[in-house]
Amino acid sequence: MLGRLARIKPFALTETMVPAAAVAPRAMTAIERYLAAGRRELRARIHEYLRWLSRPEARTANPAVLQRRFTFLRLRFNVVLTQFDIFADVLAQRSEHDNGVVLAGLDLVAADALALPGYYTPPPVVCYLDRGHGAAIRRQRTRLPGGGENPVAVIRVPRERMVGSGMASSLVHEVGHQAAALLDLVDSLRPVLRARGASAGRAAPVWRLWERWISEIVADFWSVARVGVTSTLGLMGVVSLPRVFVFRLNPEDPHPIPWVRVRLSCAMGRAMYPHPQWDEVAQIWESFYPRTGLDAAFRDLLHRLEGSMSEFVDMLLTHRPAALRGRTVAEVMELAERQPHRLLAIHHAWRAAPSRIRSAAPSLVFAVIGQARAAGELGPEEESRTLARMLQYWALSTTTQRSAVTDRPAPRALAAAIA
């Protein structure tokens, strides 16, 4: 077991990624430190077990006792391997041609979308690709298999979403889950919704559903706030499923009914970024999935959910969690800069001077490109080329910055990771 443990090397000694595809030093240091601590703890347990075996009481111990102690030690060894493999699977993709650089660019988009200066210190974010319909996040400080807290936020992006600005919809939604945890949004909103439901009379079931769905709704809100209509259109791509699934209500599912989820995304967008486009998108969604033919009771539920959306969205935008120190959720977001007319004006400026796009924040770039695409001012091919170019630019520019400043882990931190 000690021999096998000695063969587990730090990722800095094993991964073959090009510099532009590398994970940010802060993220890599956090991962290496966490895994190194696990290896040190396991090595100490093994040596303690070996010392115990040399004592007289061990020589006369029942074989069942020897086996029990060894078995628990081996289980801990398997935990160390499992946690190593979690990050190995993520980091191994950084060695893939093209994909590694794209993922490094997505790391920066996610970090920008998560940033909220003055209210919390965002954790390092690492992205990777996997099959599957939707994205997912393993948030920082959530429990890893076998115990221990995740040292970084790890976001899984579906390969099928890696086309055009729609990738930002899924990515920033997952970022929203991490932001909500940092601001304690979900737990602070639940009592508000519960109290509203208690006074809602016949509408109480509607507010119970909003409370049940609030974690996913907050993540959708964050996505709409950061990338505007790009988020809603991307969401439509994810939940455009056979009709039976779009109208399915599962009381145990934290995700809203897909049909309601898109309508709510439009309602949030309309409240934050007033523009006729939200009604147009809502009408398109209605034309794709008309309510005709649904059970009367279910149609009534959808009608009541729609009727409460305006009040619900207002409660969300005017919510003042303790972490925001008296400010509302809407007040801390960059809403003025990301109004649809403003995004289109930025797009026109970039058309006149293409190099100006490089000075924009990554999440703003996705918001602008997505808005231009929605307005018919940008075709899918140009959209895809522009975003691919920018992802590469962000990855390369960050590499250059790292070589110019001391953003690398300190020698002492590296030494601790190798231990």
Q: Can you tell me the mean pLDDT for 334-347?
A: 95
Neighbour order of strands in the sheet with 153-158: 125-130, 153-158, 136-138
Amino acid at 92: A
Confidence of residue 414 (pLDDT cuts 50, 70, 90): very low
Instruction: Tell me the domain boundaries of the chain.
Output: 2-151, 184-332, 340-394
Find the radius of gyration of the CA atoms of the chain.
25
Q: Looking at the chain, how many residues does it have?
A: 419
- Residue 364: exposure state from Cβ atoms within 10 A (0-12, 13-18, ≥19): buried
Range of weakest confidence among 72-86, 197-211, 254-268: 72-86
Alpha carbon distance 390, 128 (integer Å):
18
The pLDDT assigned to 402 comes to 60
Q: What pLDDT digit, counting tens, does each position of 218-263 carry?
A: 999 999 999 999 999 999 999 999 999 999 999 889 999 999 999 9
Q: What pLDDT digit, counting tens, does each position of 128-161 carry?
A: 988 777 789 999 999 988 888 999 999 998 887 7
Q: What percent of the chain has pLDDT over 70?
A: 94
Secondary-structure breakdown of the chain: helix, strand, coil percentages, each rounded to the nearest 5:
70, 5, 25
From 109, 230, 225, select the one nearest 165 (Cα to Cα): 230
Q: Can you tell me the mean pLDDT for 374-381?
A: 94
